[in-house]
């Protein structure tokens, strides 16, 4: 089969299209899919570069999010048939492992997965839309609902708002009835974020976002019950790096900061004074649950949530697609259709 293969860590050139990569065969409890769509996540960039403490079994086909049709079922598989339209949960929650990292993923014509990892794709949702959901939208859903408990009337500041997780956070905050302040890298991204519901845009490459928040929404008060408690109720920050302390400075008394990653650095400078002085809450969120994906299906099917796809590539353009993610050129998701 044709597949985009990683044989060693390095730059984008390490992803090579191979015409005769071995076809997968369904074992006990497994299925083989004809991949119809797979979407990129920033995690794919980290996998290609190499991550401390994570050993990759080379050669590897990357790609966590996978949607397709079953073409083969292995012994012991029940409830699934050839031709079924399915989405793969990237996490193997029984045996352990991650698609596109510890086992071959979606950048290929065929992919093998455990039957217990499958979701049936509703008829109203395309393969491309389905493939955009698990990692980015699933992560955003858990962070904004179960962990963040974002509610109507709150002010929510979202950093990294134009990426896959970010655009979902914008939409989910609006669904909850919150006022959304989205940080964008340029005017075009800001315009697109406004179209999907952001009430306010901060261009972080031109403006110091803590200063803008303070000017527009006031300064936080240190005393409970004080009038005019400015700032925002919630900050979504999965970038880390030098944005971390700046984010703390935007929160009102009792505000909360939500994080599910650290694309700009996992060991930022910290200032504990803001946390205790303003009684801030730091809430971490890790991944998604299967029920989160089912809830996303319901929201997309009902037209309440949009799986925002910026661009689509054939298998031959997969390396270029990952480059656009790495260079932060996109708004939403990048999908490959083998």
Length of the chain: 338
Instruction: Could you list the beta-strand ranges (E) of the chain.
Output: 3-6, 15-18, 30-39, 65-73, 85-88, 110-114, 118-120, 155-158, 179-184, 200-203, 232-236, 251-259, 281-284, 309-313, 333-336
Instruction: Give residue-wise pLDDT tens across range 111-147.
Output: 999 999 999 999 999 999 999 999 999 999 999 999 9
What pLDDT shows up at residue 53? 87
d(CA 209, CA 236): 13
d(CA 192, CA 205): 17
The CA-atom distances, in angstroms, between 104 and each of 21, 23, 85, 97, 111 are 11, 11, 20, 10, 7
d(CA 173, CA 106): 30
| Distance from the first to the final alpha carbon of the chain | 11
What pLDDT shows up at residue 176? 98
Q: What is the DSSP letter of 96?
A: -
d(CA 304, CA 290): 20
Span 185-214, average pLDDT: 96
The overall pTM is greater than 0.85: yes
Quick check: 62 and 47 in contact, CB under 8 A?
A: yes
d(CA 209, CA 239): 14
What pLDDT shows up at residue 228? 66
With 0-12 / 13-18 / 19 or more C-beta atoms within 10 angstroms meaning exposed / middle / buried, residue 78 is: exposed
DSSP 147-207: IT---TT-EEEETTTTSHHHHHHHHHHHHHT-EEEEEESSHHHHHHHHHTT-SEEEETTTS
* CA neighbor of 19 nearest in space, from 235, 314, 326, 316: 316
- The answer on pLDDT for 237 being more than 90 is yes
> Quick check: helix, strand or coil at residue 282?
strand
Q: What is the DSSP letter of 102?
A: T
What pLDDT shows up at residue 224? 72
Q: What is the DSSP letter of 46?
A: H
In this structure, are strands 179-184 and 200-203 parallel, antiparallel, or unpaired? Answer: parallel
What pLDDT shows up at residue 52? 87
Instruction: Give residue-wise pLDDT tens across range 145-187.
Output: 999 999 999 999 999 999 999 999 999 999 999 999 999 999 9
**Stronger pLDDT, 224 or 40, i.e. the higher one:** 40
What backbone torsions phi and psi does residue 174 show, to the nearest 5 degrees?
A: -70, -40
What pLDDT shows up at residue 225? 64
- The answer on pLDDT for 244 being more than 90 is yes
What pLDDT shows up at residue 222? 82
What pLDDT shows up at residue 127? 98
Instruction: Give residue-wise pLDDT tens across range 95-116.
Output: 999 999 999 999 999 999 999 9
Q: Which segment of 58-72, 224-238, 265-279, 284-298 scores lowest on mean pLDDT?
A: 224-238
d(CA 141, CA 148): 9
d(CA 328, CA 184): 11
Q: Which residues contact 149 (CB under 8 A, 6 or more apart)?
A: none
d(CA 31, CA 25): 8
Cis peptide before 32 (omega within 30 of 0): no
Domains of the chain (ranges, CATH numbers): 3-132+307-336 (3.90.180.10), 137-284 (3.90.180.10)
Instruction: Give residue-wise pLDDT tens across range 245-262.
Output: 999 999 999 999 999 999
What pLDDT shows up at residue 223? 72
What pLDDT shows up at residue 263? 87
Where does residue 332 fall: left (phi above 0), alpha (psi -120 to 50 degrees), or beta otherwise?
left
193 beta partners: none
- The answer on pLDDT for 226 being more than 70 is no
**Arithmetic mean of pLDDT over the chain:** 96
d(CA 238, CA 264): 8
């Amino acid at each position: 089969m044709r597949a985009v293969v990683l044989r060693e860590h390095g730059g984008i050139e390490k992803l090579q299209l191979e015409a005769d990569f071995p076809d997968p065969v369904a074992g006990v409890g497994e299925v083989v899919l004809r991949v119809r769509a797979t979407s990129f996540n920033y995690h794919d960039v980290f996998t290609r570069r190499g991550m401390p403490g994570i050993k990759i079994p080379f050669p590897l086909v990357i790609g966590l999010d996978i949607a397709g049709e079953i073409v083969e079922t292995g012994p012991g598989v029940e409830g699934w048939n050839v031709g079924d339209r399915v989405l793969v949960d990237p996490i193997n929650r029984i045996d352990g492992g991650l698609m596109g990292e510890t086992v071959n993923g979606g950048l290929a014509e065929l992919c093998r997965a455990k039957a217990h990892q499958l979701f049936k794709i509703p008829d109203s949702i395309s393969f491309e839309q389905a493939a955009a959901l698990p990692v980015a939208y699933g992560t955003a859903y858990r962070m904004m609902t179960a962990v963040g408990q974002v509610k109507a009337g709150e002010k929510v500041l979202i950093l990294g708002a134009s990426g896959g997780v970010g655009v979902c956070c914008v939409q989910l905050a609006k669904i909850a009835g919150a006022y959304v302040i989205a940080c964008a890298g340029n005017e075009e991204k800001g315009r697109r974020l406004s179209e999907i519901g952001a009430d306010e845009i901060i261009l972080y490459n031109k403006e110091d976002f803590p200063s803008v928040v303070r000017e527009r929404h006031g300064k936080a008060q240190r005393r409970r019950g004080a009038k005019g408690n400015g700032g925002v109720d919630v900050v979504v920050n999965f970038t880390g790096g030098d944005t971390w302390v700046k984010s703390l400075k935007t929160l009102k008394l009792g505000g909360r900061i939500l994080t599910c990653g650290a694309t700009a650095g996992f060991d930022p400078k910290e200032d504990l004074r803001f946390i205790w002085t303003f009684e801030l809450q730091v809430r971490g969120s890790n991944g998604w649950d299967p029920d989160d994906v089912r809830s996303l299906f319901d929201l997309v099917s009902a037209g309440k949530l949009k799986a925002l796809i910026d661009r689509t590539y054939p298998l031959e353009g997969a390396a270029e697609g990952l480059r656009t993610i790495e260079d932060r050129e996109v708004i939403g998701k990048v999908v490959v259709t083998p």
